[in-house]
Structure 1
């Protein structure tokens, strides 16, 4: 009588081989499935190359310590300068508290008129005209002409002669008073003085530059009365220099 197959040794050996083959097949399939999925490890992520957009715009990534949703604004030193129209040069306003240079403002008319009322021979001045940078002074032609224009005056012909009684007195007024006015009002560029005497008209038409050249000085640099006496009135207001001044500047018609 033949024995059953399952009692044979080779039967169980075959079964064991088949079982091992089935187990190996399942293990192999599981490993294949795992290797087919993308790796999410930090090492794999670090090897990924940056995208072209990220490379072209480095500032797109937030600075350390700043989150992407709350990035800090650029500092003034790193921000691009704004393009603006250049400022135009504006002269100082009278309300700014900064005084404009004396040679850039109109002459103060009332101050000029007040000053000429104190000059030598002023009672016999007929008219004073004040321009932007020019002063024009005209004297009466005679005491009679002055008396006619001022019938209530207490001045006499003797007073007139005391101030305007000689050619030298006329020269002194034309020279000294014009120079004083240039010093007193730095914005004055020129002066015209007309003074009739004994049927003749003595006149000067002076610029500040011509007067400064005559004295060889800068009138604007004279700040005190002592400087004035030392540099101008003391050495120059003499008969000799009055004659030189008259020869150079005084016209007689």
Structure 2
């Protein structure tokens, strides 16, 4: 066989081998099912979609731009400070029902209900600015997390003040604070359970339940026809969110 023919056949042979391995891989690893479709599952995108819908259902007065901005800032600040975005969203839902202009009877302001002392500490120029409020509120929450190192104590300090919690070394026996902690835990559990159910509604081989950072995306075969954007019924969301909360509330 001449050199020219051999030179031509080598890449053809390798191409044939590659195609054979690819077909075998598809048959062994990714079962072909006529009724199913192969998709790329990105947990972070599912999480963002869930939060966007959650925010919208908690506060129907928000514009689409506001919802996107709130969601984006929650994702950004959660990543910077190491919080679960569902946890941060749960806190904001409990504080203001995602009302950027909320003002309490104690003059706490904005989405995360920042007090005058926190606004001064975090150098916030406009507490009603979505990005400034979430950024400052998350920084303050991170400060409390490093100080108390326990989620319930952190929430108690955010609600009742760090001085009181530090003095008592426990959650203050205040009805408002106790209810506040339980409300956030309920929101957080609700969001996490729906997220897990959504992931489990896909057929995954191998089945992966790991951190979002470890597996930002993986190949799955959709087991059944579901909408990855309709996670909550209106009734369920109305049950856990305080909708129609006024601009100025107690």
- Normalised to the residue count of structure 2, the TM-score between the two structures is 0.24
Greater gyration radius: 1
- Normalised to the residue count of structure 1, the TM-score between the two structures is 0.24
Greater strand share, 1 or 2? Answer: 1
Greater helix share, 1 or 2? Answer: 2
